[in-house]
Structure 1
Amino acid sequence: MLFHYHFWTPNVEETEKFYEDHGFRIVQRIGKYQGEFQNFNPPLKWEDFREKKVMFRIIEARKGSINITFGYGKKPMFDHIGFLISEKEQEAICKNAEKMNWKVDHGERRTFLSTPYEFRIELQTHNDLIDSMEDRIEGLTVETKKEGLEDDILNLLGNPVKEIHTIIGNTVTIRDAVMENFPVKQAVDPNGVRILSGGAQ
């Protein structure tokens, strides 16, 4: 199941506010302060730490089965998408990735695949990263610089992912995201992702 995307952005506070204003809950904030990574999780608010100039590594927002993360970067940059799968599926997908000569990076909590499209794919087997099976991602339009992503995802996962559509352009990013029960017809997040409402309202 496609459940996740991650951006680096200079607009960290604005991105958090955008998703929170549209029904997401902020689960965690981890940032570097005085040379060490520390938690600034809710119930802390930005007023509690804004003046500390924390360099945020990750802020996590959730709504149903959608998990969006972002951290500080000098410019908005799309990093990866994520699939929630079983351990058995992960084993098969990693074998497929190796056959495709994609680098497989096994981590303690997640596995990353390096694609030739200038972004990564996360394989996640832990269901505790979503709140429920509601409000899913119904579609992502991914802009890439080269063709072949949809075919490669078919070869990787063993079946087509109807949620992913590609367009060819000069950048690598997510142009559109269709989310079930998004509270407004459409809105654009601070990193240029246009979010459209789908599914039941």
Structure 2
Amino acid sequence: MLFHYHFWTPFVEETEAFYKANGFRVFQRIGRYHGNFQTFNPPQNWDEFRNKTIIFRIIEMKKGSINITFGYGKKVMFDHIGFLVSDNDNQKIINKARKMNLNVQVNERRTFIGTPFGFRIELQTHKDAVESVNSPTKINKLEIATKSSNLSQFLMNLFEVDIPQIISTVGNKTTITRATFSHIELKKSLDPNGVTLQIE
């Protein structure tokens, strides 16, 4: 199940506010402050730490079966998408990635697989990554622009099934251009990082 995407962005507070306006809740904020990583989780809010020089490593927001994360970067950069998979499928995909000579980083929480398209794929087996795996609120499609037209074939080779939720387009940089959600009321449609949200 496609459930997740992550961006690096200079617009951290603005990105949180955008998704909050669309009904997402903050589950964690982790940032570097005075050289140490600290949490700034709710009920803390931006009025309490906006003027501190915090470099946010991750802010995690969830709604239904959707998980959005982002952290501070000097420029907007799409980092990865995530799939929630079974333990069995997780191992199958890892094995296939290694046969394809892809960079595979495995830890107990999640696995990252490098791609030749400038973004990574996260494999997640922990169902607590979302509020509910059975929620009708989910990511139906992600439109991903890359400099190559081979993304769909690459995903089919890796997963050994078609991944219709990923719509591949050709662009001058690698990024998510559009995210289609279901069972969500959108108050705003264009996020600060250039992703257009729509519903179906």
Verify: 1:172 aligned to 2:174, yes or no: yes
- Amino acid of the residue matched to residue 93 of structure 1? I
Aligned AA (1:78): F
Structure 1's consecutive aligned runs of 4 or more residues displaced over 4 angstroms after TM superposition are: none
- TM-score norm. by structure 2 comes to 0.97
Letter in 2 for 1:47: D
CA distances 1:122-158 after superposition (whole Å, capped 9, x unpaired): 0000001100122010000000011211111111112
Aligned to 1:94: 94
Q: Distance in 1 between matches of 2:178 and 2:53?
A: 31
What SS is found at the alignment partner of 2:51?
helix
* 1-structure distance, mates of 2:2, 2:188: 20
Secondary structure at the counterpart of residue 188 of structure 1: coil
Asked if structure 1 preserves the Cα contact closer than 8 Å seen for 2:7 and 2:79, the reply is yes
Contact in 1 for aligned 2:146/2:172 (Cα 8 Å): yes
CA distance in 1, matches of 2:91, 2:188: 37
**CA–CA distance in structure 2, aligned partners of residues 75 and 182 of structure 1:** 29
- 70-79 or 151-160, which deviates more: 151-160
Contact 1:60 1:70 in 2 (8 A): yes
Find the partner of 1:197 among 187, 190, 199.
Answer: 199
Pairwise mapping of residues 28-107 of structure 1 onto structure 2 (< 5 A)?
28-107=28-107
- Report the secondary structure of 2:189's partner residue: strand
Moved more, 77-86 or 97-106: 97-106
For residues 182 and 142 of structure 1, what CA distance do their matches in structure 2 show?
A: 21
2:154 alignment counterpart:
152
Matches within 5 A, 1:18-29: 18-29=18-29
* Distance change >3 Å, CA 186–CA 154, structure 1 → 2: farther
User: Which structure 1 segments of 5+ residues have no match?
Assistant: none
CA–CA distance in structure 2, aligned partners of residues 21 and 85 of structure 1: 29
Q: CA RMSD in A?
A: 1.0
- Helix, strand or coil: the match of 1:20? helix
Residue 45 of structure 1: how far off its partner (Å): 0.5
Which letter does structure 2 place at the counterpart of 1:53?
A: T
Deviation at 1:181, TM superposition (A): 2.1
After superposition, the C-alpha distances for 1:18-70 in whole angstroms (9 at most, x for unaligned) are 00010000100000000000000000000111111210000001010000000
Deviation at 1:186, TM superposition (A): 6.4
Q: CA deviation at 1:89?
A: 0.6
CA 1:185/1:38 → structure 2, altered by over 3 Å: closer, same or farther? closer
Identity %: 53
Q: What secondary structure sits across from 2:69 in the alignment?
A: strand
Partner deviation per Cα, 1:153-194 (whole Å, 9 max, x = no partner): 111112111110111111000000000123138610000000
Provide the secondary structure at the position in 2 that maps to 1:171.
Answer: coil
Structure 1 Cα separation of the partners of residues 83 and 180 of structure 2: 16
TM (norm. structure 1) is 0.96
